[in-house]
Every structure is written in C-alpha cells, then in structure tokens.
C-alpha cells in the first residue's frame, strides 16, 4: 500500500458530502468509487465531493467524477465540487474542461450555501 | 534408604541431564520413579498449581496414574494436598481412614499413609509433591527433609522448563509480530534486526515496525513493553496493532501516542511501554518525532556525523492517563540515516545510560553501511557484549538520488505511488516549483498508468521511467513493452489530453519492443 485516502461523509438535508483526504490515483480510485456511490441514496438531491484536502489527483480521479456525475444526472441529482482557488487539482481539471462540467465552490460552506 | 546426600545427588543428576532433552511430563515421571525408589513408597505424585483457578492439578503420578488420567483437581486449602499448598509446609498422614482426604482415588487404591511437601520457587507455591504407601507407616523427619529437598530440585526444574516453553511461545509471537519483510520503498533503504535475550526469563516485548502512511510518508516505530514473557509479548502485539490503526486513521504523531496512552493507561496493574514513533517525509525533508520515555533516536547526517535527537521528557505509554505527548519536527536531508534501538543495544548494568548512548553514536559514525551497523549493534558492540535483554534495531536511510534518474517498476497500480514520491523528490532537488512538480508528476503518472493498464500479463511486466535535467529542460521518458493505446470507452481516455495540457511536448515513439512516451517541460526558475 503506497497511498492512503480517506472518505468522510456528512449529510446536510438533501445534500450528502463526501470529503476526501489523501492522494487519488489508479490504485486508490476503486475504493473511493465504491464508497462515494454507496453514499448517494434516492432522497438526496446533491452530492458534494470535497477535494480541498486531496493532494494529488490525476485522470483516474477525473474519470471517476465524470462517471459519477453522469449517473447522478440520469437520476436528476447533481454533482458539486469543492476546491480551493489556486489548487493544482483545479488547474488539471481546467486542462480537460472538467471545471466547467460541474459547479466548483471554493469551500464546503460555499457549496452548502449554494444548495 | 541411601544417605540423603547420595540420594539428592542422584536426583540432581536426573534434573541436570534431563532438562535439555525431556519434556516437562517426561522429567516429572523420571523424578517420581527415583523418589519412589529412594523412599521405598508405592505411589508418588506431582500436582501443579493452576493459578487462575486456584486448584492443584494432577500432572504426573506413579502407582496412582488414574489421578492424572482423571485430571484430578484439588482446591488450595482443602484435603491433603490442598492443605500442604495453603500452609506451605510438609504434611504427613499416618492413617488415611482418619484424615480429611478429598481425592477418592487415594482411598480406592488402598493407600494407608501419606507424606507431602510443597513445591516452592522463591517462596511461591507452584505445586505439591506427595508419596504414599499401602501399609501403615510413620515417615521420619529425615524422610520428610529428603522429600522436601527432592521437591526443591523438582520445583527449579519445573520452573526452568516452563520458562523454556514460555520463551518458545514469546519468540513465536515476536516472529509473528515483527514485519516478515520490510516494505520496499523506492529511494529508501530500510534495515532491521531483532535478537531475543540470551537468558530465557528476559525474552520480552521489544518490537519495531515500518509502514507507509501515504503521500510518501513512512512511519518508523521502535518500542519496548516493560516486563517479560508471554504477558509482555501479547501486550506488545496489542500496542503495535493499535499504533498502526491510529496512525493509518490519519492522526498526527502526538495524537497517535495520546490515543495509545488513553487506551493502555486504563490497564490495571499499570503496564508501561516505551516507544519512539517517527514519521519520515523524504519529499518535505522532515522528520516528526514523538518519544514516550524511549531512548533518543540517532540521526547520521550525509557527512557521516551522528547526533542524538533531543526528545521531550514524555513518560512511557500507560504511565499517566492524563499525559500529553509532544511532537518535534526536525529537518532531514537525503543521504541521512535514522537509527532506532531498544535498551539492550546500549545499556550496561550499573553504568549511566549516557555512556552507552555515546558508544552507540560513535558506532554509527564508524560504520556507515546500515546492514553492517545493524549487525554490530545486535552483536552488542555498544553494550559490551551480547545483552541479557532483547535487542531491536531499525535503520532507515534516505538514499540520495542520482543526477539522472533511471528506474524500473512492476506494471502494477500499486507502483504508481512510489514512482510519484520518488519523482517529487527528484524534481525538488532540481529546483522545480510546487506547481511544476505537480504538473510533471501528473503527466508522468498518466504515462505510467497507461503502461500499467496495458501490461499484457499483470504482475509479470515492467516499465521504466528515466528523468534528466538538460539545463532546465526536464525530460522524462516512460517506456513499456506494449503499444500505446489511450484508454477507450466512456469517461476514459483523458490521460493523453491531460499530459499534453500539462507539458510542453509529449511524444509517443516506438522503442525496442514497446513504446516510449517522452515528456518535456522547461522549469521556470532556470
């Protein structure tokens, strides 16, 4: 095991928050996918994935966001992201246009307020 | 009856010679044969104390073998044997019919007279030895003393045999608990040794542990559970596991030890563990250290100078429930080693510990090869010969990275983390800024992930990553044995666009038998 990533969950009304902490790569994306998908039930309207404490994410993570985003959309649910301005992850998302595919908030409070 | 001296010498020969080869049961049966012959009795039996139940349990018998077969148990304080154990003195019964005998087998066998003595080790009762005869008999004081002498010899032999058995258990426990292999971490050289104490009674709770915490950080642990034997060994296993669990939960080092202290501080009687917990971050060049009453770690700098790290005077884990542990951060450079040991490596009885630590420090300066250093330490080079205590030693060296990086990796997703951490260290050493380091790392990972994904035989294949700095132009080449295929399907295939977006140029070229991806980016600071 070379990478450790933790997923914490919170519920705020009809919003469920998955806070990720660690490095998200091809070796850890499978676990994260399982945990994030398990979080979302039918009564939720939104999933907020808080990436503020993620220190590394490559296309494995970006692909997961798109896949989960598509699944949510098909059920009239939404995916929101939390990323601090200037985060290197935001820059990599921008390279493939992912920052325009999902609402991105600078903090979890902002994301919840936007609900 | 032979003279008591002669009889005892005969018994002694049995116990000395037999200890090495006989099991406890064989030894006890051998002793019973001799005792019955010397005293001319029809029966003889050993009952050993089960401390938990407070019962004497028939362990070996001659003439009344049913005692053992039926697993006869006599409560301490009751019946013939129970009285001997409770009063810790010999008891003779001339006429069984008029005595308080609990064990029906003695009567059924037609035993008329009995003589019994306690088995004592350092004043502790560990059992009872008794003999019986089928015709009424008065045992003389001389016979009583002889039986007691035989019991004293037997008690020592039993205790030795138990310690020996215990040692085997503790050693097995320790072997099971120490990492069977240290993790392979690119850019790190890890070496460790554990040597059990030369004296049976001292085998105990020393351990070391190494595990990865993610983000390239490595946890180094060395500890010593105060106490010996199975109890210390099992507590060690618990402390080791709890520490791993708290650390992998993501707690800061001081919080890990706080939690550990709260968990084990509730134990009564108090059980103490000294330990040092270090988190080594080779990318940040930082070592975070918490010491709970343990020997200070030694850092050997790249120039070969060794120094003891200052540790806060925090108490051992388990001493005070309200203790608060302090973590220290110290910078550490590539080429440095961290040396962690337990007491047995430096301690000499009756000598101030500082002298031992200084010998250890000098030894670390003299022997620069980590493996050779570990060997010297467990051999007692800093503790004046082999220790009668356990010795554990763990050395972690941050290997300096070469100017031009040339590495080979198994085509396995688990290799990606190690590659990422090594590359970050290399880039930092070449003056790359944080954003540049991040972008180049992501791009190289994309190429590596592709090599992993398209390896035709998982676990068999490998890929290589070479990196060089051409006067500010970083060129990284990822080569595998397959053909380049960008991942297909929905929500896949973002690897190549990401690489192109993050680097100045990305060239996919055929290379002998495979594909090379050459990634280039000029560093801003150059």
Task: Write out chain B residues lying below 8 Å of A96, CB-based.
Answer: 494, 497-498, 501
Asked if residue B128 and residue B30 are part of one domain, the reply reads yes
**How many domains does one find in chain B?**
3
Task: Write out chain A residues lying below 8 Å of B414, CB-based.
Answer: 1-2, 27
Domain holding B472: CATH number? 3.30.565.10
A residues 62-91 near B, CB within 8 Å? 62-64, 66-67, 70, 88, 91
Question: Do A5 and B214 count as a contact with CB atoms less than 8 A apart?
Answer: yes
Which residue numbers in chain B have pLDDT < 70? 1-4, 12-21, 198-203, 386-387, 455-460, 483-492, 526
Asked if residue B351 and residue B260 are part of one domain, the reply reads yes
Q: Nearest CA of chain A to the CA of B311: how many Å? A: 29
Q: Nearest CA of chain A to the CA of B428: how many Å? A: 16
Question: Do A63 and B215 count as a contact with CB atoms less than 8 A apart?
Answer: no
Q: Nearest CA of chain B to the CA of A109: how many Å? A: 23
Instruction: Kindly report, residue by residue over B397-438, the tens digit of the pLDDT.
Output: 999 999 999 999 888 888 898 899 999 999 999 999 999 999
Among B26, B47, B45, B24, which Cα is nearest to B35's? B45
Question: Do A63 and B453 count as a contact with CB atoms less than 8 A apart?
Answer: no
Asked if residue B416 and residue B385 are part of one domain, the reply reads no
**Boundary (domain end) residue, out of B170, B190, B211:** B170
Domain holding B189: CATH number? 3.60.40.10
Asked if residue B446 and residue B364 are part of one domain, the reply reads no
Asked if residue B410 and residue B374 are part of one domain, the reply reads no
- With a threshold of 0.95, does the pTM exceed it? no
- Which residue of B214, B453, B501 is in closest CB contact with A95? B501
CA B463-B468-B469 angle, to 5 degrees, is: 155
* Strand pairing report for B473-480 and B505-511: unpaired
- Could you tell me the residue ranges of all domains in chain A? 5-113
The hierarchical CATH code for the domain A5-113 is: 3.30.750.24
Alpha-helical segments (H) within B389-524? 415-429, 434-453, 495-502
pLDDT score recorded for residue A2: 43
Domain holding B121: CATH number? 3.30.450.40
Q: Nearest CA of chain B to the CA of A4: how many Å? A: 5
Question: Do A55 and B215 count as a contact with CB atoms less than 8 A apart?
Answer: yes
Rg (CA), chain B: 33
pLDDT score recorded for residue A1: 45
pLDDT score recorded for residue B231: 80
pLDDT score recorded for residue B492: 65
pLDDT score recorded for residue B18: 62
Both structure tokens of B383: 């503790």
Q: Does B502 touch chain A (CB under 8 A)?
A: yes
Q: Is the peptide bond before B269 cis (omega within 30 degrees of 0)?
A: yes
Count CB atoms within 10 A of the CB of residue B487. 16
> Average pLDDT for consecutive 10-residue bins of chain A (115 residues)?
75 94 91 91 89 94 94 93 94 90 94 87
B residues 451-470 near A, CB within 8 Å? 452-453
DSSP A1-59: ----EEEEEEEETTEEEEEEEEEESTTTHHHHHHHHHHH--TT--EEEEEEEEEEEE-H
Give the separation between CA A57 and CA A24, rounded to whole angstroms: 5
**Boundary (domain end) residue, out of B398, B417, B449:** B398
Q: What is the ipTM of this complex?
A: 0.91
Asked if residue B213 and residue B101 are part of one domain, the reply reads no
Give the separation between CA B392 and CA B192, rounded to whole angstroms: 8
* Strand pairing report for B43-50 and B124-133: antiparallel
Q: How far are the Cα atoms of B19, B74, B79, B86, B127 from residue B124, in angstroms, in the given order? A: 21, 18, 20, 11, 9
Give the separation between CA B435 and CA B427, rounded to whole angstroms: 11
Among B47, B42, B53, which Cα is nearest to B72's? B47
Q: Does B418 touch chain A (CB under 8 A)?
A: yes
Q: Domain of B114?
A: 4-170
């Amino acid at each position: 095991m070379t990478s450790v990533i933790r997923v914490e969950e919170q519920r705020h009304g009809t919003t469920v928050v998955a806070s990720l902490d660690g490095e998200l790569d091809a070796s850890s994306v499978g676990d994260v996918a399982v945990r994030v998908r398990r979080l979302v039930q039918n009564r939720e309207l939104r999933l907020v994935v808080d990436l503020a404490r993620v220190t590394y994410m490559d296309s494995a993570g970006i692909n997961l966001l798109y896949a989960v985003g598509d699944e949510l959309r098909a059920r009239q649910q939404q995916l929101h992201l939390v990323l601090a301005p200037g985060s290197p992850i935001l820059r990599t998302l921008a390279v493939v246009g992912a920052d325009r595919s999902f609402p991105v908030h600078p903090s979890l409070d902002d994301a919840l307020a936007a609900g | 009856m032979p003279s008591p001296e002669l009889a005892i010498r005969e018994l002694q020969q049995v116990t000395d010679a037999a200890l090495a080869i006989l099991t406890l049961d064989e030894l006890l049966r051998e002793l019973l044969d001799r005792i019955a012959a010397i005293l001319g009795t029809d029966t003889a039996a050993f009952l050993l104390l089960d401390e938990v139940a407070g019962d004497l349990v028939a362990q070996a018998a001659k003439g009344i073998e049913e005692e053992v077969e039926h697993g006869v148990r006599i409560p301490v304080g009751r019946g013939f044997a129970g009285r001997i154990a409770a009063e810790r003195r010999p008891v003779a019964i001339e006429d069984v019919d008029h005595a308080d005998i609990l064990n029906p087998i003695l009567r059924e066998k037609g035993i008329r007279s009995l003589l019994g003595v306690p088995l004592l080790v350092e004043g502790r009762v560990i059992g009872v030895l008794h003999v019986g005869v089928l015709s009424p008999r008065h045992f003389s004081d001389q016979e009583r003393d002889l039986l007691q002498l035989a019991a004293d010899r037997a008690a020592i032999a039993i205790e030795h045999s138990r310690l020996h058995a215990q040692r085997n258990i503790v050693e097995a426990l320790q072997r099971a608990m120490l990492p069977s292999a240290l993790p392979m971490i690119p850019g790190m050289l890890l070496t460790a040794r554990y040597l059990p104490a030369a004296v049976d009674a001292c085998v105990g709770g020393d351990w070391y542990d190494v595990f990865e915490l993610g983000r390239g950080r490595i946890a180094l642990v060395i500890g010593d559970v105060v106490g010996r034997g199975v109890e210390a060994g099992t507590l060690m296993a618990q402390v080791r596991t709890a520490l791993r669990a708290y650390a992998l939960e993501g707690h800061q080092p001081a919080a890990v030890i706080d939690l550990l202290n709260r968990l084990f501080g509730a134990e009564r009687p108090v059980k103490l563990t000294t330990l040092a917990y270090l988190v080594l971050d080779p990318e940040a060049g930082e070592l975070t250290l918490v010491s709970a009453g343990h020997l200070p770690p030694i850092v050997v700098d790249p120039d070969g100078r060794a120094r003891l790290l200052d540790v806060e005077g925090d108490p051992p884990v388990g001493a005070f429930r309200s203790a608060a542990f302090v973590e220290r951060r110290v910078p550490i450079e590539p080429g440095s080693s961290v040396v962690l040991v337990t007491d047995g490596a430096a301690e000499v009885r009756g000598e101030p510990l500082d002298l031992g630590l200084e010998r250890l420090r000098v030894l670390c300066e003299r022997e620069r090869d980590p493996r050779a250093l570990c060997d010297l330490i467990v051999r007692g080079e800093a503790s004046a010969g082999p220790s009668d205590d356990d010795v554990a030693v763990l050395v972690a060296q941050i290997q300096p990275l070469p100017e031009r990086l040339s590495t080979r990796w198994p085509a396995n997703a688990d290799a990606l983390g190690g590659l990422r951490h090594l590359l970050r260290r290399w880039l930092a050493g070449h003056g790359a800024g944080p954003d540049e380091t991040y972008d180049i790392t992501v791009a190289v990972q994309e190429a590596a992930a592709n090599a992993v994904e398209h390896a035709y035989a998982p676990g068999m294949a490998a890929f290589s990553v070479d990196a060089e700095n051409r006067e500010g132009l970083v060129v990284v080449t990822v080569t595998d044995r397959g053909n380049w295929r960008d991942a297909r399907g929905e929500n896949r295939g973002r690897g190549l666009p990401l690489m192109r977006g993050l680097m100045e140029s990305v060239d996919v070229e055929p290379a002998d038998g495979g594909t090379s991806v050459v990634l280039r980016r000029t560093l801003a600071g150059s």
